[in-house]
């Protein structure tokens, strides 16, 4: 094992570790919020009635991006993290 230096400040080291963990948790929370907001927007879009222009679209032009699975369930999963 390594020797602990005499000038080692345990409290400063602990504060540094705690700050790093808080920054990481903050970033993870931001990512989770972005995922939840995007899933919520997809869930609301899936429930909204299609405008007349969308209803008249031909079968040759599929939707740009069809949501995979139930958007409401996806939002619920992200929201409970």
User: What is the widest separation between alpha-carbon atoms in the chain?
Assistant: 78
List the domain boundaries for the chain: 32-46+68-81
Question: What share of the chain has pLDDT > 90, as a percent?
Answer: 28
pTM assigned to the model? 0.55
pLDDT of residue 52: 56
Q: Which residues contact 67 (CB under 8 A, 6 or more apart)?
A: 42, 46, 74
* pLDDT of the chain, 81 residues: tens digit per residue: 889 899 999 999 999 999 999 999 999 999 888 988 888 888 888 887 766 555 555 554 544 444 467 777 777 777 665
Among 48, 49, 51, 41, smallest CA distance to 72 is for 41
């Amino acid at each position: 094992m390594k020797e602990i230096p005499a000038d080692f400040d345990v409290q400063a080291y602990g504060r540094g570790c705690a700050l790093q963990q808080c920054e990481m948790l903050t970033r993870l929370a931001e990512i989770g919020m972005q995922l939840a907001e995007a899933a919520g927007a997809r869930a609301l879009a899936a429930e909204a009635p299609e405008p007349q222009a969308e209803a008249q679209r031909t079968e040759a032009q599929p939707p740009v991006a069809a949501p995979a699975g139930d958007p409401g369930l996806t939002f619920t999963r992200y929201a409970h993290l």
